[in-house]
A and B are shown apart, each in its own frame.
Chain A
Amino acid sequence: MSTVTATTPANDGSRTQPRGRFDFGIRDRWYGLPKPVRMLLLLLGALLLYLLPLLDPPYLSPSGSDFGAVLFNVAAYVLVALGLNVVLGYAGLLDLGYVGFYLIGAYTVGIFGSLHGHLPFLLLLPLAAVFTTISGLILGAPTLRVRGDYLAIVTLGFGEIVRLIAVNWRWGGGAAGITEVPRPPSIELFSLPHLDWNGFVATVNLDETTTFLKFGVLDQIPYYWMALTVIFVILVAEGLVVHSRVGRAWEATREDEDAAELMGVPTFRFKLLAFAIGAFIGGISGALFATRQAFINPESFPLLLSILFLSAVVVGGPGNRLGVIIGGIIVAYLPELFRPFADYRVLIFGCLLILLANFRPEGLLPPRRTLRAKKVEEALVELEEGPADE
């Protein structure tokens, strides 16, 4: 403790420094605010997110496409990314077949809402969640005994097998898919006008309105509201679970499975739990997707979708909810924004991933604990070198 090596922060920081570079002390300032102020700001932020498709701000809204539809898409990806984050980020299980759960959620709604029954959507949503959770348990129980690479291969197979079953299963619609997937019930209370932008001058357009809450064919905004609401609920619930024994057990298992087991963590049980929760969230997003689409077929659930879901988590920073949300936004929104370059977008995306892997291997926003630890490290360095060293 007494010997101080002459490392300047610039040299020393090559490994630890980049982690906080994009932070700019925002986190500190945020937690410096009194709690009521934070709550109010969060509420305002949420309200802004709800109003976003009505505001239709220039530059943010991609020209030539329906902003409401784009936002729903983004929200769906964010939701999926949050679910996959439980599996990959918290429990450290590489799941390459996440689209399988997405499909099961969507098909549950399709099959029991249109093809073989006419259950209302509000009943189908929990049903989809239950079915996917069960499928997660069925897949997890045998496969979670294998580790790492093997798990990735098994789940990859699962995603494909589920899709192929959907193709070949006539009772489930087969290759033709399912039409007339039920919509959520509408309660038409009032209409909200949109904004029209002419440069930076906004005018209220009373001709173009969105009815609260009408789940129709043309206007996608209510679906976005629904998805956003589900995201908020999931965020709160997930936060409560992660900050408990369950979250600690996941973290310990990811760090060192054998040591965790010997410290009294039933690792298999907790891995299975993560898998089931991930499947649960995946199923809900699949159900939302199905009801928005109104038509689903097996081609809606390609392997590529699994890879994109995975990228959203990896890009954002597995284990960090805010990072994963940003990852979901990037993966779903940027391609829409750069539609004109559509032919190159996968290429650009690939290049971005390579850059990211090199410069931010822990994702755009690494887990909070690395940041917290860095602060402690800095404080220690400061103590050892003396504060007025510069």
Chain B
Amino acid sequence: MSETTLATAGGPTAGPAGQPLLEMRDVTLRFGGVVALDGVSFEIRRGEILGLIGPNGAGKTTCFNAMTGVYQPTSGQVMFRGEPLGKRKRFAITKLGIARTFQNIRLFGNMTALENILVGADAQHSTGVLNALFRLPRHRQEEEQGHQRAHELLEFMGLTKRADELARNLPYGDQRRLEIARALATEPDLLCLDEPAAGFNPQEKVELMDLIRRIRDQGYTVLLIEHDMRLVMGVTDRIVVLEFGRKIAEGTPAEIRDNPAVIAAYLGVDDDDAS
């Protein structure tokens, strides 16, 4: 992978590092009788890599979905840059600055790698039919800006040679990277990665850790859902642990490693009556 930076176009908005960028305030999410999230509160601080871990079904992806507008919290609020997300539509939240990848890759398979990223870049564009029809300055300017950003991202991800290939024909690892590139193209402040290392071999995981750090170094804030403990411990600044929809621990990787509740959640305890 190359060492290019993403300085020229559309980086994250400036703000003091360490300030809260996104806050989950007592978020509860119920589906009928099932409580997927139960009064979850935590914050993601600008410029950090926050890990979100927990056993299967703990509510990690639901947490993502509450942040990106897929689900509306039953109660509680998600605050982004100090403002509640409220009932904003999903595309509006993306435009606001929260981008995500998917646990099971969801690229636009029949579009090229370049076009996939362009769709992401279009999140900040507003060219409509009239602009396109008459090739007005806005169309030209946005196309140029989008292509420039797309090529930067392709280079950053080491995908330049794949630009004109269909997304569905890319090797698995490249598809994962392309998803991250597409999300970055929307010019987010917060990048949410949903198990980006799933299906990776150890070598690829090391590369991914490096990539996530490089993304943070460009000024992005990263939220990472991941099962692989070594990866999470190795790359994150702080970790939030969920179990059965509740937050059971929060702290630095070292603190989490020694937390008895976390160990119990992952290894199980005898007096747990759930069989």
The residues of A with any CB-CB pair to B shorter than 8 Å are: 237, 240-241, 243-246, 248-249, 251-252, 255-256, 258-267, 273, 277, 367, 369-370, 372-373, 376-377
The answer to whether A245 and B94 touch (CB under 8 A), given A251-B111, A264-B123, is no
Measured between beta carbons, the chain B residues less than 8 angstroms from A264 are: 91, 94-95, 120, 122-124, 186
Measured between beta carbons, the chain A residues less than 8 angstroms from B120 are: 263-264
Check A369 against B182 for contact (C-beta < 8 Å).
Answer: no
Check A260 against B169 for contact (C-beta < 8 Å).
Answer: no
A66 to chain B, nearest CB (A): 36
Q: How far is the CA of A387 from the CA of B271 in the complex (A)?
A: 66
The contact sample of 22 A-B pairs, CB cut-off 8 A, is A237-B133, A240-B133, A240-B135, A241-B129, A244-B127, A244-B132, A245-B122, A245-B139, A248-B118, A251-B115, A255-B108, A256-B108, A259-B106, A262-B68, A263-B91, A263-B99, A263-B120, A273-B128, A369-B166, A372-B112, A372-B164, A376-B166
Q: Does B176 contact A (CB under 8 A)?
A: no
- Most chain B CB neighbours (cut-off 10 Å) among A246, A258, A259, A367: A259
Provide the B67-102 mask, 1 if CB < 8 A to any CB of A, else 0.
Answer: 010100000000000000000011100110001101
Q: Does B26 contact A (CB under 8 A)?
A: no
The answer to whether A244 and B131 touch (CB under 8 A), given A255-B111, A259-B108, A373-B166, is yes
Which residue on A lies nearest to B166, using beta carbons? A373
A240-B133, A245-B139 given. 16 additional CB < 8 A pairs?
A: A240-B135, A245-B142, A245-B146, A246-B129, A248-B119, A251-B111, A252-B108, A252-B119, A259-B102, A259-B107, A261-B90, A263-B119, A264-B124, A266-B91, A369-B110, A373-B166
Q: Does B165 contact A (CB under 8 A)?
A: yes
Check B132 against A249 for contact (C-beta < 8 Å).
Answer: no
Interface positions, chain B 35-84, Cβ under 8 Å from A, are 68, 70
Q: Does B125 contact A (CB under 8 A)?
A: yes
A333 to chain B, nearest CB (A): 30
Measured between beta carbons, the chain B residues less than 8 angstroms from A244 are: 127, 131-132, 139, 143
What is the predominant secondary structure among interface residues of chain A facing chain B?
helix
Measured between beta carbons, the chain B residues less than 8 angstroms from A370 are: 110, 166
Q: How far is the CA of A262 from the CA of B100 in the complex (A)?
A: 8
Could you say which of B68, B95, B125, B133 contacts A245, with CB atoms under 8 Å apart?
A: B125
A272 to chain B, nearest CB (A): 12
Measured between beta carbons, the chain B residues less than 8 angstroms from A243 are: 132
Provide the B115-155 mask, 1 if CB < 8 A to any CB of A, else 0.
Answer: 10011101111011101110100010011001000000000
Measured between beta carbons, the chain B residues less than 8 angstroms from A261 are: 89-91
Measured between beta carbons, the chain A residues less than 8 angstroms from B106 are: 256, 258-259
Check B132 against A245 for contact (C-beta < 8 Å).
Answer: yes
Q: Does B251 contact A (CB under 8 A)?
A: no
Which residue on A lies nearest to B128, using beta carbons? A246
Measured between beta carbons, the chain A residues less than 8 angstroms from B131 are: 244
Check A266 against B119 for contact (C-beta < 8 Å).
Answer: no
A217 to chain B, nearest CB (A): 36
Check A241 against B123 for contact (C-beta < 8 Å).
Answer: no
Measured between beta carbons, the chain A residues less than 8 angstroms from B115 are: 248, 251
Check B111 against A252 for contact (C-beta < 8 Å).
Answer: yes
B218 to chain A, nearest CB (A): 19
Could you say which of A258, A263, A372 contacts B123, with CB atoms under 8 Å apart?
A: A263
A351 to chain B, nearest CB (A): 29
Q: How far is the CA of A243 from the CA of B133 in the complex (A)?
A: 10
Q: Does B109 contact A (CB under 8 A)?
A: yes
Could you say which of B94, B112, B164, B166 contacts A263, with CB atoms under 8 Å apart?
A: B94
Check B111 against A369 for contact (C-beta < 8 Å).
Answer: yes
10 tightest A-B CB contacts, nearest first: A264-B123, A244-B132, A264-B94, A255-B108, A373-B166, A259-B106, A245-B127, A252-B119, A261-B90, A245-B122
Check A246 against B108 for contact (C-beta < 8 Å).
Answer: no
Measured between beta carbons, the chain A residues less than 8 angstroms from B166 are: 369-370, 373, 376
Q: How far is the CA of A261 from the CA of B118 in the complex (A)?
A: 14
Which residue on A lies nearest to B106, using beta carbons? A259
B63 to chain A, nearest CB (A): 15
Interface positions, chain B 174-194, Cβ under 8 Å from A, are 182-183, 186
Q: How far is the CA of A369 from the CA of B183 in the complex (A)?
A: 23
Check A376 against B165 for contact (C-beta < 8 Å).
Answer: yes
The answer to whether A265 and B91 touch (CB under 8 A), given A260-B119, A369-B111, is yes
Check B129 against A273 for contact (C-beta < 8 Å).
Answer: yes
Check A249 against B119 for contact (C-beta < 8 Å).
Answer: yes
Check A248 against B122 for contact (C-beta < 8 Å).
Answer: yes
Check A373 against B94 for contact (C-beta < 8 Å).
Answer: no
- Most chain A CB neighbours (cut-off 10 Å) among B91, B111, B142: B91
Measured between beta carbons, the chain A residues less than 8 angstroms from B109 are: 255
Could you say which of A241, A260, A267 contacts B133, with CB atoms under 8 Å apart?
A: A241
The answer to whether A265 and B123 touch (CB under 8 A), given A246-B129, A369-B166, A373-B169, is yes
B128 to chain A, nearest CB (A): 7
Measured between beta carbons, the chain A residues less than 8 angstroms from B119 are: 248-249, 251-252, 260, 263, 265
